[in-house]
Chain A
Amino acid sequence: MNTLLRFDQGTLVLEGFPSLPSTLKTYFSYDARVDAYRASAHYYFEIIGKIKKLLKTNNAPKYRHLKLEPALAFNVYPHQQEALASWQAAKGRGCIILPTGAGKSLVGVLAIAWASRSALVVVPTLDLMHQWYALLKANFPDTEIGLIGGGYYEVRDLSVSTYDSAARHMERFGNWFGTLILDEVHHLPTEFYRNIAEFSIAPYRLGLTATPERLDLKHQELPNLIGEILYRREALELAGEILAPFQIRKLYVELSATEREAYNNALTLRDLFLKQNNISLRSLKGWQNFVMLSSRSPLGRQAMRAHRQARQLAQAAPAKLRTLELILAQHHQDKTVIFTEDNATAYEISKNFLIPCITHQTRVKERQAILDAFRNGSYQTLVTSKVLNEGVDVPDASIGVILSGSSVNREFVQRLGRILRKSEGKQAVLYEVVTRNTQEERVSERRRSGMSFEVEEKPNLENNTLPLFDNLTNENNEETF
């Protein structure tokens, strides 16, 4: 009887064995639906070693052996070399943790070249998809590069896909790639995305991220899906060395009297509802309770609206825009990136200050044009909500301004990373603008929890107009708030 291994929609099917060889019992189960044995595809590298001699036909892998040598002459830093070596020593399976700006992508390119198999790079955003496309094209000019996602479906020897598209289509092409590079790999361990790893037979797997930890602790599944963490360096360890030296400055603003009243009223309305229903927002459970109860009655809906209104008042306090104007005036020579929590504020800033804006709604071509103009100096300033949190190269920005953000530590680290690319004589400054005596103060504390940065706190801007920018100031600003 012909024994056959084949790939079937994200699984491996073994045919022609009257009974299952005992070495394979941990991987395969009998599937009565098709009268054959079936295993999860991601065990392929373990299975094939045990089964090779018993197998007449192996139709599972469709990936190719390629000759891949990076065409660009790189300056490989010691930490990149060490990272790659640790991955090679682990037979090409595992995760590497490097801070934003430390050249993760280059480690990915070197890994693809070393593995020399058809490779799929999986990324969370369209920007990153295009960035990887350009990187692969420059390094492997003789190999066709495909895009999967954002309207493309091109499965080629080297392909770049979004997590969404990869999760949707892995059933179809899980056997076309021998190497998987998972950029920003902390996205992987969710119910939907984990199939990218499980439905692939790729023997070589590399996960890259600056921040593997997830609040839901699902990063504990990464060793099984990709491999262990093999190498890890933090931003602080690399600062000054390969990253620019940086400062974090926290600026406080106050709500105006009317804003304060509206803020307090909203919170009172919300808290009344919370109290009546015995809810504490200190825990995740309390918050889920609030969400649930708020959808059930007009009072609950009012309370939720009040909650949002209060948050909006603090996040988008007009005093923040005045502070921003001052920061922009102070740093008009410096490349500056402004971060907001929501798109609406980003667009408002764009309209008010005439600053180019990138959100997830910005189309890829315009995004690229804005980033290019920023790179060559035609634009000095950029405002963005969350899309530039991750990965996308924002070259040479030296000033970051967090006007509003979430309490997620990863977001903070990523935003900081946007200004850390080292260049001659660069001193990076990250401003954090926080509304005094609102919940933003706590949010700001939480986002920096567990980090050992020294933060310079500035007094209230409302009362102290100058000097705010002491050592960086080179002209007096007469504006008052």
Chain B
Amino acid sequence: MLPSELLRNTIRAGQAYPYYLKGEKTQWADKVLQIVTAHINQSRSDLDEALRALEGDSPDYQLVRGLAHLLLAEANFTIASTVEPEVLRQDAFLLATKYGHGTKQRQQILEELSIKHNLPPETIPDALYADLPENHILTFVPETTAEKLVDLYNLAQAQGLFYYAKWLVIHAFRNVPGEYRRLFHKLKLYGLMYAVEGNLEDGYRIHVDGPASLFNQTRRYGVKMAAFLPALLQVTRWALEAELEIKGKKVIYNLTSESALKSHFPKPPAYDSLLESSFVERWLKSNTAWELEREVEIVDLKGTVFVPDFALRHPDGRINHVEIVGFWHPDYLKRKFDKARKAGMKNLLLAVSDRLNVTDEHLEGLSGPVIFFKGKLEPKAVLEVIETLES
């Protein structure tokens, strides 16, 4: 992400548009990348100077600085000096306290230091502060391309608009797989709150803000929303609307999954567990009219959501749900059954591995059926129950 002084955007008719690098301007990415890689083993101040020279008096200076900021965020710098600068400083300051701080005494002190530390006297003033960041040496720049740098820059500009956001609404359109679970997981991770409206057929409307947004619409959660954006970009079909406050004015920002923005987060695995993926494989091979859709239903449990693993959809219009319970951890088990109980869905089948320590207490008060399975979950076992359920 970029510091706010490097953000660029335009506001037209109450709408905000982030500045995206494209066309000719993407050349800046090539140039910044070249200069930075050419300055490996040189000091940060030399690098800064070269970057300042690159920007010159061009009004594009913010682009140059923004690109450099993002590239250097992952780079390494180290201190280059034979004598520990802090030790050299201490010696110099103690001698100067003894002899005086005048110009005449200075020469004498430098000579004494030169002998003690085996350094030429004229190099000592600079060696005193070799540990300052501007004197650090650039040693490592992560492998990247100008194209990737442009993607990162454009993402950062879009994220920057969210710094000013008071709330946002995500319209999640019906799609398979829904990938909603990760979405809500990330929202929670970033300390954001949500309210969900809608249904499986028409899609959902997810209103996102933070706990204190209830009292006054604050931009306090904007940075968290910005950090959340790359996670949203990994979900398939959505449109979002954010209300920003820029210089005291209300501004709307719209973004959809169709934008050219790319998430830099590593691609998450397609399935949470082997149990799920092998169940899907077997389902596709089995001969049944029921179609399997993953993570498409959202049940708002007020403060948390329940997203069943699968929805099963019959051509005659019936829809039932399956949740696989396969992980042993006691907290997980309790949470899982609590959620299923709270969801109160009669058409939800819980498929529970018989290796787990499931007690009567867990199962009490569930609205839907429960089956136990050994090892693998067979489609046949699920179908038998599903057929009997009222959708």
Q: Footprint of B on A, CB under 8 Å?
A: 8-11, 29, 31-35, 38-40, 171, 191-192, 195, 198-199, 295-298, 300-302, 305, 325, 328-329, 332, 347, 350-356, 361, 366, 369, 373, 378-381
Contacts and interface: CB of A to CB of B under 8 A. Distances in A.
Given A35-B302, A351-B125, A354-B96, A40 B86 contact: no
B194 interface: yes
B62 A295 contact: yes
Interface in B60-86: 61-62, 86
Interface residues of B, number: 41
B191 A9 contact: yes
The 6 closest A-B pairs by CB, nearest first: A354-B96, A298-B57, A34-B303, A353-B101, A35-B302, A9-B211
B44 interface: no
A102 B320 CA distance: 73
A350 B128 contact: yes
Nearest to A301: B57
Contacts of B126: 351
Contacts of A298: 56-59
Interface of B: 56-59, 61-62, 86, 89-90, 92-97, 100-103, 106, 109, 125-126, 128-129, 132-133, 191, 193-195, 210-212, 214-215, 218-220, 302-303
Contacts of B96: 353-355
B57 A11 contact: no
Contacts of A305: 57
A38 B211 contact: yes
A33 B61 contact: no
A319 to B, nearest CB: 15
Contact of A356 (B89, B106, B303): B89
Nearest to A348: B125
A31 B214 contact: yes
Contacts of B128: 350-351
Contact of B102 (A9, A38, A329): A329
A354 B194 contact: no
Nearest to B129: A347
Contacts of B133: 361
A33 B100 contact: no
Given A9-B210, A40-B215, 19 more contacts: A10-B211, A10-B212, A29-B215, A31-B214, A33-B193, A34-B302, A34-B303, A35-B303, A191-B219, A199-B212, A298-B59, A301-B57, A301-B59, A328-B102, A347-B132, A351-B129, A353-B106, A356-B89, A361-B132
B132 to A, nearest CB: 6
A353 B96 CA distance: 8
A381 B101 contact: yes
B212 A297 contact: no
Contacts of A199: 212
B102 A325 contact: yes
Contacts of A11: 211-212, 214
B61 A301 contact: yes
B214 A38 contact: yes
A31 to B, nearest CB: 5
A424 to B, nearest CB: 23
A419 B100 CA distance: 21
A22 to B, nearest CB: 19
10 contacts: A9-B210, A40-B215, A171-B191, A191-B218, A195-B220, A198-B212, A295-B62, A298-B56, A354-B92, A380-B97
Contacts of B102: 325, 328-329
Nearest to B126: A351
A329 B128 CA distance: 23
A353 B128 CA distance: 12
A248 to B, nearest CB: 23
Contact of B106 (A40, A296, A347, A354): A354
Contacts of B90: 369
Nearest to B215: A40
A386 to B, nearest CB: 16
A38 B103 CA distance: 67
Contacts of B219: 191
A302 B212 contact: no
A125 B180 CA distance: 42
A32 B97 contact: no
